Amino acid sequence: MKNMKAHFKKVKRYGAILLCGLSLFLVFSFTSPNYNFAKSLDIFFNVLREINIFYVDQVNSEELVKKAINEMLSTLDPYTTYIPDDEMEDFEFMTTGQYGGMGALIRKSGDYIEISEPYENFPAAKAGLVPGDLLIGIDGKSLKNADVTEVSAMLKGKPGSKMDLKVVKLRSKDTVVVSVVRQFIRIPAVPYYGIVRDRVGYIRFTNFTTDCSKEVKDALLNLKKMGATSLVLDMRSNPGGLLNEAVKVVNLFVPRGQASGKYERKDKGI
């Protein structure tokens, strides 16, 4: 009997310890960062659901979420941005220099879009398009008053897909329909380099895409072999891109420990 009582006392004591430990665990869980994160997500979901169900007018949930994300990121640095699905193609082009298209630069010309430079050996050039040809339609859709960004998006697509371009030819002024099959296009980060004069080298550097530092390095080494003793690195209109590639390019010219920079945030907030 005494042993039984001693046993129950132990059970009670260990049970009390177990309950205390459970209480500490629960307190810790409800105040941990993970719990607060999950609670914040739950609040956001509930607010969005209530608006979607009970708001007096119909709302666009996708647009609300996009605005909420952009407002959230605006409290951080200006380089942290949200890229929706419909902009991923442009993002991939910016970071890789690769896309599916016809391989030509375009520009606005009056009410329509003009071919400014077809790249050699790419679909636009193979189809006979030349600088000055006017694009007035794509796949039966008029391009009148369309902007360059809109037309550029229409010209891009999956490699191997076909599009019919309605074109006013520069020389004959005839209106023709040209069929073009999109191709995998890669734009070099260094489209040109050479000796300008008096042993001055010149590198045209257009974007910080994958392996662009290797292209700059190869151009630099070749210019040294050609006798260059100074260099012009032309980065006009370079839209930026991959940070790691930018660091590699800087390392080609600046000794370790000598690079410096300054940043000021002029907008409101942190």
Interior/surface letters 50-74, b for 16+ CB within 10 angstroms, e for the rest: eeeeeeeeeeeeeeeeeeeeeeeee
Would you state the structure tokens that stand for residue 118, as one six-digit string?
């077809």
> Hunting for tokens 């459970």 — which residue is that?
22
For the whole model, what pTM was predicted? 0.52
pLDDT by residue, tens only, the chain of 270 residues = 444 444 444 444 444 444 444 444 444 455 566 778 888 889 999 999 999 899 999 989 888 998 998 899 889 888 788 877 766 666 666 666 667 889 888 999 999 999 998 888 889 999 999 999 999 999 999 999 999 888 988 998 888 999 999 999 998 999 999 999 999 887 788 989 999 988 999 999 988 888 899 999 999 999 999 999 999 999 987 878 888 999 999 999 888 766 665 555 554 433
CATH assignment of 95-186?
2.30.42.10
Residues 6 or more apart whose CB falls under 8 angstroms from that of 59 comprise: 51, 52
Domain boundaries, the chain: 7-82, 95-186, 192-253
